[in-house]
């Protein structure tokens, strides 16, 4: 019985908003994150194309651009697919489908780690080609923005891993499994939509 009902709409305390305050808090947090990443993206846009020394992001004055679009497109696809597996984990948790929830959470974690692997590869490649935080204005704005995003992905991986580990306890994630996984999913999907914007602004739109 517990299996069938686990994870359905959480019986939260009555609030004057009619919603669960913990979920409201997560949306507040994501709202503040909009401002945080909005400022970072604005800074990148302000200085886009202003570097006077290379390496440059895109082809510039006969010099090949440093951004590797095919590789980053692959990592973008990986993060996109992690959103699909995340929403399946939420579905599994909300419907009491424990195996589906655990497998989907595991897949999301692995895809998140893969994305971080791509980002590490990219950063190392840029470093070997002479681009770092102090090289030019592109390096400064690029590394700060994508670095903060990568950190968010890392935090998401830890968040989901803690949920996955907790789900193996005898009591699992408890009667509010659906709520816990859904809240984590909100964070994960937000990280994905931030990357949707960064991918377009930084990689696809030329200088």
From CA 143, how far away is CA 47, in angstroms rounded? 13
- Of the candidate spans 27-35, 108-116, 120-128, 150-158, the one that interacts with other proteins by CB under 8 A turns out to be 27-35
Could you tell me the two tokens for 142?
């690029």
For position 16 contacting other proteins by CB under 8 A, the verdict is no
For position 159 contacting other proteins by CB under 8 A, the verdict is no
From CA 146, how far away is CA 152, in angstroms rounded? 10
Least Å distance between CB 94 and other proteins?
6
Phi-psi region of 130 (alpha: psi -120 to 50; beta: other; left: phi over 0): left
List binders of other proteins among 81-140 (CB under 8 A): 81, 83-84, 86-88, 90-91, 94-97, 135-137
For position 197 contacting other proteins by CB under 8 A, the verdict is yes
From CA 205, how far away is CA 197, in angstroms rounded? 11
- Under rule CB under 8 A, how many of the chain's residues touch other proteins? 63
- For other proteins, which residue of 1, 52, 168, 170 counts as binding (CB under 8 A)? 52
For position 18 contacting other proteins by CB under 8 A, the verdict is yes
For position 38 contacting other proteins by CB under 8 A, the verdict is yes
- For other proteins, which residue of 1, 11, 35, 61 counts as binding (CB under 8 A)? 35
For position 59 contacting other proteins by CB under 8 A, the verdict is no
List binders of other proteins among 135-154 (CB under 8 A): 135-137
From CA 96, how far away is CA 90, in angstroms rounded? 10
For position 156 contacting other proteins by CB under 8 A, the verdict is no
Site residues, other proteins (CB under 8 A):
4, 8-9, 17-19, 23-24, 27-28, 30-32, 34-35, 37-39, 41-43, 45-47, 50-53, 69, 73, 76-77, 80-81, 83-84, 86-88, 90-91, 94-97, 135-137, 182, 185-186, 189-190, 192-193, 196-197, 199-200, 203-206
């Amino acid at each position: 019985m517990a299996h069938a009902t686990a994870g359905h709409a959480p019986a939260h305390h009555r609030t004057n908003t009619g919603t669960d305050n913990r979920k409201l808090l997560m949306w507040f947090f994501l709202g503040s994150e909009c401002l945080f990443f909005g400022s970072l993206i604005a800074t990148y846009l302000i200085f886009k194309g202003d570097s006077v020394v290379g390496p440059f992001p895109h082809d510039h004055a006969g010099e090949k651009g440093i951004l590797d679009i095919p590789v980053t497109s692959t990592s973008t696809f990986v993060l996109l697919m992690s959103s699909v597996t995340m929403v399946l984990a939420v579905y599994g948790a909300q419907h009491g489908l424990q195996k589906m929830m655990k497998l989907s959470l595991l897949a999301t974690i692995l895809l998140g780690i893969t994305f971080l692997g791509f980002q590490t590869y990219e950063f190392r490649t840029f470093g070997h080609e002479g681009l770092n935080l102090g090289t030019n204005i592109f390096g400064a704005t690029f590394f700060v923005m994508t670095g903060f995003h990568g950190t968010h992905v890392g935090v998401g991986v830890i968040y989901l891993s803690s949920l996955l580990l907790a789900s193996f306890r005898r009591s699992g994630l408890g009667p509010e499994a659906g709520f816990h996984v859904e809240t984590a999913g909100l964070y994960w999907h937000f990280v994905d939509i931030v990357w949707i914007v960064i991918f377009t602004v930084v990689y696809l739109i030329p200088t």
